[in-house]
Amino acid sequence: MVRIVLIGAASAAIVALSPAAFAQQAGGAAAEAKSMLERAVAAVKADKPRALEMFNKGEGGFLDRDLYVFCDSLADGKVVAIGNPNAKYLLGKDARALMDVTGKAYGREIFDGQHKPEGQFAEVRYLFPRPGADDTPVPKVTLVAKAGDLGCGVGYYKQ
Which string of DSSP letters, residue by residue, matches 54-71? HHHHT-TT-EETTEEEEE
pLDDT (tens digit, 9 = 90+) per residue, 35-64?
Answer: 999 999 999 999 999 999 999 999 999 999
Strand residues in 2-136 grouped as ranges (E): 63-64, 67-73, 79-82, 122-129
pLDDT (tens digit, 9 = 90+) per residue, 120-141?
Answer: 999 999 999 999 899 999 999 9
Say which residue, 133 or 70, is predicted with more confidence: 70
Give me the numbers of helices (H) and strands (E) for the chain, helices first please: 5, 6
Cα Rg for the chain, rounded, in angstroms? 18
pLDDT (tens digit, 9 = 90+) per residue, 109-125?
Answer: 999 999 999 999 999 99
Sequence-distant (≥ 6) Cβ neighbours of residue 116 within 8 angstroms: 122, 145, 146
Give pTM, 2 decimals: 0.82
